[in-house]
């Protein structure tokens, strides 16, 4: 296993649909990852993102989203526009491979909100720690919290973007080694399954279909 430069990212949103919902927070850590859980941090970026006005009205954050993420509309006052925030993210990621937990969700929102969002994974592709978890432990719950728990990785304050990024980075270092030792292909791989159909296929993705059911998933 060779060392590689990655950028792990996570976005928080007002909901699941990029055409009606909005990004509220972006976080990312750029790091070198190597064998034995080696992680060397190179930089990190976290920002709230301003909500747009739609038909002259400020978009509101649904109450259950504020409960889930802790993010209130007033937190986003004075934040960069979604164009600025994704523009900064694209420049920060540069040529690093992009890592996220359930990456189709993040890449879909990024592509829908910036004219160059699609190229974020160029040229070194991406890895999805959720797909890696499904491929390595097909019977286990692949959500971030239970996967971190299985591998003894702390996840404090789940659904604040930087907390999720920190945990995902550690998880990636562990799962990458495990996948490589077991000959499991994970680069650019996304997982489709009847219980959780793929809603977005990132450019260049390899889709693996898993029929086997995982244990009940939590958010």
Q: Single out the residue of 1, 17, 38, 42 in contact with its own copies (rule: CB under 8 A).
A: 42
Q: 157: phi > 0 → left, psi -120 to 50 → alpha, else beta; which? A: left
Give me the least distance between CB of 31 and its own copies, in Å please.
Answer: 8
Binding flag, residue 32, its own copies (CB under 8 A): yes
DSSP string, the chain: ---EEEEEEEEEESSS-TTT--EEEEEEEEEEEEGGGEEEEEEEEEEE-PPPEETTEE----HHHHHHH---GGGGTTPPPHHHHHHHHHHHHTTSEEEETTHHHHHHHHHHH-TTGGGGGTTT-EEEHHHHHHHHSTTS--SHHHHHHHTT----STTSHHHHHHHHHHHHHHHHHHHHHTT---TTEEEEBTTB--S---TTPEEEE--SPPSPP--
Q: Which of residues 61-80 bind its own copies (CB under 8 A)?
A: 75, 77-80
Segment 44 to 63, residues that bind its own copies, using CB under 8 A = 44-48
Residue 94 Ramachandran class (φ > 0 left, ψ -120 to 50 alpha, else beta):
left
Of 21, 66, 73, 84, the one binding its own copies (CB under 8 A) is 84
To the nearest whole angstrom, how small is the minimum distance from the Cβ of residue 61 to its own copies?
Answer: 16
Q: Which of 9, 23, 51, 96 binds its own copies (CB under 8 A)?
A: 96
- Which is closer to its own copies, CB of 7 or CB of 102? 7
**Which residue, 47 or 201, has its beta carbon nearer to its own copies?**
47
Nearer to its own copies, 13 or 143 (CB): 13
**Residue 5 found at the interface with its own copies (CB under 8 A):** yes
Q: Which lies closer to its own copies via its Cβ, residue 125 or residue 138?
A: 125
- Residue 88 is a binding residue for its own copies (CB under 8 A): yes
Pick one of 10, 13, 14, 30: the residue that binds its own copies (CB under 8 A): 30
Structure tokens that stand for 203 in this block: 């450019």
Which residues contact its own copies (rule: CB under 8 A)?
5, 30, 32, 42-48, 75, 77-81, 84-85, 87-89, 91-92, 94, 96
């Amino acid at each position: 296993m060779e060392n590689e430069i990655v950028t792990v990212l996570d976005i928080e949103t007002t909901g699941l649909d990029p055409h009606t919902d909005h990004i509220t927070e972006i976080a990312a850590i750029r790091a070198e990852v190597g064998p034995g859980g080696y992680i060397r941090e190179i930089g990190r970026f976290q920002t709230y993102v301003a909500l747009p006005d739609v038909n002259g009205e400020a978009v509101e954050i649904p109450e259950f989203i504020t409960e889930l993420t802790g993010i209130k509309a007033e937190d986003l006052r004075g934040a960069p526009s979604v164009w600025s925030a994704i523009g900064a993210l694209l420049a920060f990621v540069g040529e690093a491979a992009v890592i996220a937990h359930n990456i189709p969700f993040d890449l879909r929102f990024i592509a829908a909100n910036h004219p160059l969002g699609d190229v974020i994974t160029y040229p070194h592709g991406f890895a999805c720690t959720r797909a890696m978890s499904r491929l390595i432990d097909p019977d286990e719950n692949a959500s971030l919290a239970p996967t971190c728990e299985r591998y003894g990785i702390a996840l404090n304050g789940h659904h604040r973007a930087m907390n999720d990024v920190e945990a995902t980075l550690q998880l990636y270092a562990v799962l990458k080694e495990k996948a490589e030792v077991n000959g499991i292909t994970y680069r650019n791989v996304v997982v489709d399954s009847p219980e959780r159909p793929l809603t977005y296929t990132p450019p260049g993705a390899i889709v693996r279909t898993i029929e086997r059911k995982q244990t009940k998933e939590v958010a």
